[in-house]
Amino acid sequence: MDKDRIAGAAGNFAGKVEGAAGELAGDARTQASGKVREAAGTVQNLYGQAKDAAREAGEAASNLARDAYENSGETIQNGTKAVAQTVRDNPIGALLIAAGVGFAVALMMRPARRPPPRWRYYG
């Protein structure tokens, strides 16, 4: 738990207490000050939650990258073996998929066609 979350929760609670005291005393200034302190505590708490979430996401990404780096050789070998086995099991299907990918790449690489010019007569 982040120190901003703790301070935010404390500020939120103090603001609620101050607002309630102002309401009981009938003092609008104290009541408004309590609402401001409560809002500030809520914002600080949310900031702490965001920092915690960012830290956890960074740690998860770091762990994932470390695992991928440590197991990359095995993963590539397993993937290569799986593709080779699939091609051996279904050569026609593999050929059709390769042809489809080649056709899609060729479509993306050709130059864009321009529409024919339109002649306008101003006269």
Query: Has this prediction a pTM greater than 0.85?
Result: no
**Domain ranges for the chain:** 1-70, 73-111
| Structure confidence by residue, pLDDT tens digits, 80-103 | 888 888 888 888 888 888 899 999
Determine whether 70 is exposed, middle or buried from the number of CB atoms within 10 Å of its CB (0-12, 13-18, 19+).
Answer: exposed
- Give residue 101's pLDDT: 92
Q: How many CA atoms lie within 13 A of 8 on its CB side?
A: 17
Burial 21-46 (b: 16+ CB within 10 A, else e): ebeeeeeeebbebbeebbebbeebbe
pLDDT tens across 10-52, in order? Answer: 888 888 888 888 888 888 888 888 888 888 888 888 888 888 8
Q: What's the rounded Cα separation, in Å, for the pair 61 and 25? A: 52
Lookup: tokens for 100: 């489809």
